[in-house]
Amino acid sequence: METTLNIPQYKMNEEQEKKAILRKYRALLHALKPKLKPGDKEQVRAAFEVAAEAHKNMRRKSGEPYILHPIAVATICVEEIGLGVTSCICALLHDTVEDTDITLEFLQREFGAEVTKIVDGLTKIANVLDSNISQQAENFRKILLTLTDDPRVILIKLADRLHNMRTLESMRREKQLKISSETVYVYAPLAHRMGLYNIKTELEDLAMKYLEPDSYRYIAQKLDNTKRERARYINDFIRPLKEKITNAHFVDFEIYGRPKSIHSIWHKMKKKGVSFEEVYDLFAIRIILNSPPDREKEDCWKVYSMVTDEYTPSPERLRDWLSNPKSNGYEALHTTVMGPQGKWVEVQIRTKRMNDIAEKGLAAHWKYKEETTEESRFDKWIRQIRDMLENPETNSVDFLQDFKTSFLAEDIYVYTPKGDIKMLPVGSSALDFAFSIHTKIGESCIGAKVNHKLVPISHKLRSGDQVEIITSSKQKPKAEWLKFVVTSKAKSKIKDSLKEEKRTIGEEGKLLLTKRLEQMHIPATQVQFEEIAGYFKINSTLDLFYEIAIKRIDLNEVKQWSYSGDKIVFPKPEKVSPEEKSNSNKILAKKDTELIIFGESSDKIKYSLANCCKPIPGDDVFGFITQGEGLKIHRTNCPNAARLLANYGHRVVKTKWVKNKEISFLTGIKIIGLDDVGVINKITNLISGTLKINISALTIEAKDGLFEGNVKLYVHDRDELENLVKRLTDLPGIEKVERYDTENSI
């Protein structure tokens, strides 16, 4: 769903529009043709006509007729996700109940219960995601309920999001940032978990186009410039492999190269601190075999043997997802080999069935499900989510973060002492493993043996580890355990246990308070307890009793209370000065401000710069209203930006820099170069002497002929910093200069 306009913004007359709509609709029918059964075409036509009539006066932000959006979503469902007729009908109708006069009762009458249920699920998701009243993280639970109920709801929603991302250029900048952050934070990982790798990749690339426009354009241009050279290399690499596979009597197979996504290349550059030219795996070679089910694994390993006979493999880069498929059903063999010219190349080997699941994810999973009675890993994943959702305690503010770490992360495979496999998210500790076996084992866990070596319960596990849990009847869960568990089950069970302990301790506090109230002739009722909790600014009576029991609240205060007219009379708080009151209730204007804040009250308000990303004038930034610390300014590519923009869109404030050469900002640069005589002198002369930039701190470390320097300095804006970086890079002996954002670099 998106905001609509009734005024066209582009040039196309009514006749041309009708032809465009009809052309797109016919293309949809053509894509759906292999799946149509008798009567289906009429149902699809009816859905198209209902949607076209309902949206006839509506236009998208681009000015084009709105009906083109549901047709595009339906086409993505059919062509790119592999869904069928029912999903196509639902996609055509997905915005009707929310945006038009069409009711669920009407859909039930015209299209039946199944279509109505899915459209209802899609409407509820739209209401959750577009709501600014409560946090999206809190409401995301409702979306997941639809996933476990009917996964087609999520698949259609992913198609809807993909089309909105493809047409995002018509939106305002702040809307682009919010939608892109939400996409990269929630939808791309969800697409990955559903096995939709192509859609996940495209969502990440499109989000990057708006969140990191400079980096996106830079990598896209580089890929374009090296296209011909890459194609030549791929052909040279493939030629001997093709010959080998053909000689081994594999008749039906495909082998081709495909470029890695812009987002994954950028991620590698950032993670490894390398330039575009230093990213070795810019593409992957894919080999797809047409093998019968009983020979799939055998054939894949045979081809792997041929690949590694021709090219030397990197042993630590073998990924065997044939023996242990991912929880979303993905199966393949991945290896990295040394190709011609000393270049590393990733090779992926899979069968047509495996490729179908890799391309179409969940839709293909259903198609092949009839061939096996065994519960798949995807089914187990869905079941785990359902278990988590049924726990009444899973409505906390950090729900979405828990969901991401528990269910959207990659998997590791860990073995029990008997050799059984447990699948856990990356980052899981020995304690997560203990809780995955049984709650009681988790609660009494005091340590573990990983590969026969004793480790603490916080020890992070890796794929292939064999884990034995050590327990003690005297052990009890502790609050610090929450810091080193990532699975939802472990977190919720630890919280339950802590709450139970709190309740037990709280009973003592309740008795103390009751006794003291009786001495003051104040009735000890639930109403009075709630009033007292409010007086102490405590959220619940359980917390009140607990605070009293651990002596954090002094019951001597009760002596100052009185009881009148069924109410406790508390002493009045000390008077607050008007100035203090003003400071606590609103953000004050700041003199000589260098940011314009677009808000209702004033365009110049008090703010602080976020330490996590250290913005400076010229950076693309947004304001975020914190709880207790006023307005914080973050860069749009800040490590925390995606989470803030996705979860708390209603607390984001549009901001823009204005030039102010009077104010300097602390930032940092890292310099790497050859450890040569006089190089440090050249650097400091350029910064302080030539460019007149004030240095705050400088550290230099030399090792094996190279030096690494960290410089903290004061600049006026991004232009000044970029000029400095360029001038430093031009100095002889300097290999790399880059900005850093965190405080701990010096």
What residues are labeled active site? 98-99
Angle of helix 68-75 relative to helix 85-93, nearest 10 degrees, comes to 160
DSSP at 171: S
Pairing mode, strands 608-609 and 631-635: parallel
Burial zone of 133 (CB within 10 Å; 0-12 exposed, 13-18 middle, 19+ buried): exposed
The secondary structure element, H or E, covering residue 148 is helix 136-149
DSSP-assigned letters across all residues of 631-665: EEEEETT-TTHHHHHHH-GGGEEEEEE---TT--E
Contact 175/343 with Cβ under 8 angstroms?
A: no
DSSP at 101: S
CA dist 172 and 157 (Å) reads 22
DSSP-assigned letters across all residues of 32-100: HGGG--TTHHHHHHHHHHHHHHHTTT-B-TTSSBTTHHHHHHHHIIIIII---HHHHHHHHHTTHHHHS
CA dist 685 and 708 (Å) reads 17
Measured from the Cβ of residue 73, the count of other Cβ atoms closer than 10 Å reads 27
In the beta sheet, which residues pair with residue 666?
A: 714
In the beta sheet, which residues pair with residue 253?
A: 289
CA dist 455 and 123 (Å) reads 49
Contact 122/157 with Cβ under 8 angstroms?
A: yes
- Which residue pairs from 467-470 have beta carbons closer than 8 angstroms and sit at least 24 positions apart in sequence? 467/414, 467/415, 467/416, 467/417, 467/430, 467/433, 468/416, 468/417, 469/430, 469/433, 469/434, 469/437, 469/441, 469/445, 470/445, 470/446
Hunting for tokens 């045979």 — which residue is that?
Answer: 302
Hunting for tokens 């240095």 — which residue is that?
Answer: 695
CA dist 715 and 667 (Å) reads 7
Burial zone of 580 (CB within 10 Å; 0-12 exposed, 13-18 middle, 19+ buried): exposed
Q: What is the 3-state secondary structure (H, E, C) of 325-356?
A: CCCCCCCCEEEEEECHHHCEEEEEEEEHHHHH
